[in-house]
Chain A
Amino acid sequence: MKKEILRFTDVTYIYHTVRGETIAAQDLSFSVGEGEFVAIIGPSGCGKTTLLSLAAELLKPSEGNVSRTGSCGYMLQKDHLFPWRTIEKNIVLPLEIKKQNTPQNRERAKKLAVKYGLGDFLDSYPSQLSGGMRQRAALIRTLATDPDILLLDEPFSALDYQTRLNVTEDVSEIIRSEGKTALLITHDISEAISLADRILVLTKRPARVAFEHEMDFGDVKNPLKRRETGNFSGWFEVLWKELNI
């Protein structure tokens, strides 16, 4: 059994507003093992983002327990690069925040950027980069502090279709080759199938894990190659039905 990085045990989360309370998640349990790429899909409005905030410990569960070993890096829908900072300054931002802005750490983050094709853009401002490049820079920023788990909140949904396939490819490649653990939240079934080792299907609110599937693509990790295999459409059908129950 692999080491567990993240575990949700019977987590219930209740949202409070003046108008009332909403149960976003109830008795939600799952875990993510080291080096695993887990995707969570669910009907829209089922509280997916709440779940990531719980995993990032930005929210505390109302009941149950979230345990995480090690640090996490959060990646959102949009790149949220700061327009007044150069790409290099953007990438070292988490180092500044965590007060780990040492020359070695900066050098490591820069090397990562160079390795994944951002070398020429370190002194550029975000507005000078394409959407795909920006999302890549956002990923490098997330990786700068060498987090133990990446939390990906629909990181491709703001991109146009072609860029989206390319960036999915990039991100998958980078995460796999850096040996990172990742938890992806998405409403895009094919994205989940093309990326993940394991897929959790959530119910409508309050969210629980309804189904869980190990992906059986063998050694095929590349998203585009996966889309070409025979069992891709099979999985799509299964998950599509499960989402609409």
Chain B
Amino acid sequence: MKKRTMRQTYSAEHLHFLKKRRQHLVLVWTLRVGLLLLIAGIWELVTALGWVDPFFTSSPSRIARTIAGLYSDGVLFYHIGVTLWETLAGFAIAVGLGYGIALALWWSDVLREVLEPYIVVLNALPKIALGPLIIVWCGTGSKAILFMTVLVGIIVAIMHMLSAFIATDKNKMLLLRSMGASKFQILAKLVVPSSLPAFISMLKVAVGMSWIGSIMGEYIVSRAGLGYLIVYGGQVFKLDLVMSATVLLCLLAAGMYFLVALLEKFLVKNTES
């Protein structure tokens, strides 16, 4: 391949190709939005016609009203803020700490071999089982929820990054060693940059994990947050509240995933060799 050059004038065939491509994108997006509207429409219709009882299923209009109600009560952003904070803080700690631990395990073979079975067991353990312990250790405040979020995210972060670090090209390492590189130089010049794509995919997994962690944490102990609204709504049979909080969760999780995808575009440009 020569250097890529931008051509300013395209052939008619290429213009046709571009047009087709645009049409395809428009079609996909129309169908995506259409599907959402269709589901919401049917949902609304069957409840409005009384075919199903909105007491059990709620409905789009009731969800909208509930969210508006939360807003006018001034608690909407309070609950969102609580959950968002727990999730983001847990995410950051899990990712940062997990990355650091993975680096340490890459650095020391002995440490890795010693800790490997423990990590495998911790990974397989359903973290919710530690709920009672966490309450005793951390109390019933947001500290407990944060702890749960970190716990759910960190093991995945460690395992994901460690396998990426270990998969570093042996021949590139040989090359660096032939230049006289120290272990730290190999780490800084090769292992960390070459694992960048794995880092991004780890972030994507960790986004999901931290939402699981924070909502699970709120199920066990909490007085605020979207998870709390869901549990509370369920207990008092306010399904509108349950559905509203779920919709808000969907939006937030999608937003966070989108931010990571944006980061990926920004960071990962030249990775294929």
Q: Is B72 an interface residue (CB 8 A)?
A: no
Q: Is A16 an interface residue (CB 8 A)?
A: no
Q: How far is the CA of A60 from the CA of B273 in the complex (A)?
A: 32
Given contacts A58-B178, A97-B181, A124-B3, contact A80 B271 (CB under 8 A): no
- A178 CB to nearest chain B CB (Å): 18
A80 touches B179 (CB 8 A): no
A127–B272 CB distance below 8 A = yes
> Is the CB of B1 closer than 8 A to any CB of chain A?
yes
Looking at the complex, which of A24-32, A81-89, A198-206 is the stretch in contact with chain B?
Answer: A81-89
Q: Which of B1, B174, B180, B194 contacts A97 (CB 8 A)?
A: B180
What's the Cα separation between A115 and B5 when bound, in Å? 24
Task: Check: B172 CB closer than 8 A to any chain A CB.
Answer: yes
Please tell me if the beta carbons of A80 and B169 are within 8 angstroms of each other in the complex: yes
Greatest chain A CB density within 10 A among B171, B185, B271, B273 is at B273
Known: A82-B193, A120-B3. A127 touches B270 (CB 8 A): yes
Could you tell me the dominant secondary structure of chain A's interface residues? loop
Determine whether A98 belongs to the interface, using a CB cutoff of 8 Å to chain B.
yes
Beta-carbon contacts under 8 Å, A108-159 to B: 120-121, 124-130, 145, 151
A72, A76, A82, A128: the one within 8 Å of B4 (CB): A128
- Chain A CB within 8 A of B196 CB: yes
A108 to chain B, nearest CB (A): 16
A187 interface residue (CB < 8 Å to B): no
In the assembled complex, the CB of B171 is this many whole angstroms from the nearest CB of chain A, namely 6
Alpha-carbon separation in the docked complex, A80 to B179 (Å): 13
Minimum C-beta distance from A90 to chain B (A): 11
CA distance A84 to B272 in the complex (A): 8
Range, interface on chain B:
20 to 34
The answer to whether A97 and B179 touch (CB under 8 A), given A81-B273, A84-B271, is yes
- Shortest CB distance B180–A (Å): 6
User: Does B177 have its Cβ within 8 Å of any Cβ on chain A?
Assistant: yes
Q: When the two chains form their complex, are residues B180 and A98 in contact, meaning their CB atoms are under 8 A apart?
A: yes
Asked if B45 CB lies within 8 Å of chain A CBs, one says: no
B2 smallest CB distance to A (angstroms): 8
Considering only CB atoms and an 8 Å cut-off, how many residues of chain A contact the other chain? 31
Name the interface residues of B158-175: CB closer than 8 Å to any CB of A: 169, 171-172, 174-175
Given A84-B271, A97-B179, A76:B174 Cβ within 8 A:
yes
CB distance from B218 to the nearest CB of A (A): 40
Q: Is the CB of A56 within 8 A of B196?
A: no
Inter-chain CA distance A84–B271, complex, in Å, is 6
Q: Are B271 and A121 touching (Cβ within 8 A)?
A: no
In the complex the two chains form, what is the Cα distance from A145 to B181 in whole Å? 13
**Is A94 located at the chain interface by the 8 A CB criterion?**
yes
Question: CA of A84 to CA of B172 in the docked complex: distance in angstroms?
Answer: 13
Residues of B within 8 A of A (CB): 1, 3-4, 169, 171-172, 174-181, 185, 189-190, 193-194, 196, 269-273
User: Assuming A80-B169, A85-B270, what are 11 further A-B pairs, CB within 8 angstroms?
Assistant: A53-B174, A58-B177, A80-B171, A82-B172, A82-B194, A84-B270, A97-B179, A97-B180, A97-B181, A97-B189, A145-B179
**29 sampled A-B residue pairs with Cβ under 8 A:** A56-B178, A58-B178, A74-B174, A74-B178, A76-B175, A77-B171, A78-B171, A80-B171, A82-B189, A82-B190, A82-B194, A83-B273, A84-B193, A84-B194, A84-B269, A84-B271, A85-B270, A94-B179, A96-B189, A97-B179, A97-B181, A98-B179, A124-B3, A126-B270, A127-B270, A128-B3, A128-B4, A129-B1, A130-B1
Query: Which 5 pairs between the two chains have the least Cβ-Cβ distance?
Result: A74-B178, A83-B273, A97-B179, A94-B179, A125-B270
